[in-house]
Structure 1
Amino acid sequence: MTYDRLVCANCAAPVNEGRCPVCRANRVRLQQQDEGPFGGLNPVALIALLVMLIGAMALLAHQTA
């Protein structure tokens, strides 16, 4: 999730502007979530990667049987 479109319930300003302590805390939290190994990928890309991995495992299992 990106924080560029989120609106703070505390001050009714965009979260990315960081006007109040709640906005700043949520902005930092969301930035830390993006730092993970798959943080930059969107959910569709992650699902596609998972499907490809399952397909490769099935192909490998079929060849060894």
Structure 2
Amino acid sequence: MSCEHLICARCSNPVVDGRCPTCRAARSELHRHGVSVPPALVLAALVALLFAALVLQGVYG
């Protein structure tokens, strides 16, 4: 879906222009891409992978 043809009910301008807070909120909601992953979760996954690699190296090394 695109916001190019949407008209804001609050300011009656195209949403793509983002002239009012409602337009900007709708535009950011439509243009949100992918799933946002918290940086702490990524860091925890990397630490877990590092730990698993060290354990496997100790078992097979």
State the TM-score, normalized to the length of structure 2.
Answer: 0.51
Aligned pairs (5 A) from 1:32-43: 32-34=33-35, 39=36, 41-43=37-39
Q: Which runs of 5+ in 1 are unaligned?
A: 1-9, 14-18
Q: Which runs of 4+ in 1 moved over 6 A?
A: none
1:17-48 Cα offsets, whole Å, 9 max, x none, are: xx22x542321222x422xxxx4x41101111
State the TM-score, normalized to the length of structure 1.
Answer: 0.49
Give the greater-gyration-radius structure (CA): 2
Question: Alignment identity in percent?
Answer: 18
Aligned match for 1:24, one of 20, 23, 26: 26
Which residue type is aligned with residue 26 of structure 1?
S
- Give the Cα–Cα distance (whole angstroms) in 2 for the partners of residues 12 and 47 of structure 1: 37
Q: Which runs of 5+ in 2 are unaligned?
A: 1-17
- The CA RMSD measured in Å over matched residues stands at 2.2
Aligned residues: 44
